[in-house]
């Protein structure tokens, strides 16, 4: 089965410890629901720098990454179905789903 990356974009930070606990509970419940498909639970990420031929920008780019998870699924439609339950949708964020291409680094 192929692997897929869930690239989380956007969302909001909790405004209180109670809101933070509720958000963590929702994330843990979703992760529990898709646990059999998780290859790498991933992590949230901090502010990024965008490196291009024009230089380095400190703004995180046009759609900054806020975290990632790697899952396995039969196909991209199966991966999308898993992503639909993600709690980032409840805080204004989105999940970009893409297949991780299996490539050999030894040229074979």
Regions of the chain with pLDDT less than 70: 107-108
The predicted structure's pLDDT at residue 47: 84
Among 85, 79, 94, 84, which Cα is nearest to 39's? Answer: 79
Global pTM reads: 0.87
pLDDT at 107: 63
- At residue 27, the pLDDT reads 95
Residue 26 φ then ψ, to 5°: -65, -45
pLDDT at 74: 97
User: Which of 81, 89, 96, 78 is CA-nearest to residue 2?
Assistant: 78
Query: Can you list the domains of the chain with their CATH numbers?
Result: 3-48+63-99 (3.30.70.1060)
């Amino acid at each position: 089965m192929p692997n897929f990356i869930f690239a989380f974009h956007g969302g909001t930070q909790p405004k209180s410890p109670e809101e933070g606990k509720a958000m963590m509970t929702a994330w843990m419940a979703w992760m529990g629901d898709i646990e059999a498909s998780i290859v790498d639970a991933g992590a949230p990420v901090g502010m990024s720098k965008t490196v291009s031929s024009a230089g380095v920008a400190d703004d995180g780019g046009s759609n900054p990454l806020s975290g990632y998870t790697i899952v396995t699924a039969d196909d991209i439609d199966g991966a999308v179905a898993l992503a639909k339950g993600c709690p980032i949708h409840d805080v204004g964020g989105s999940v970009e789903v893409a297949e991780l291409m299996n490539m050999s680094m030894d040229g074979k």
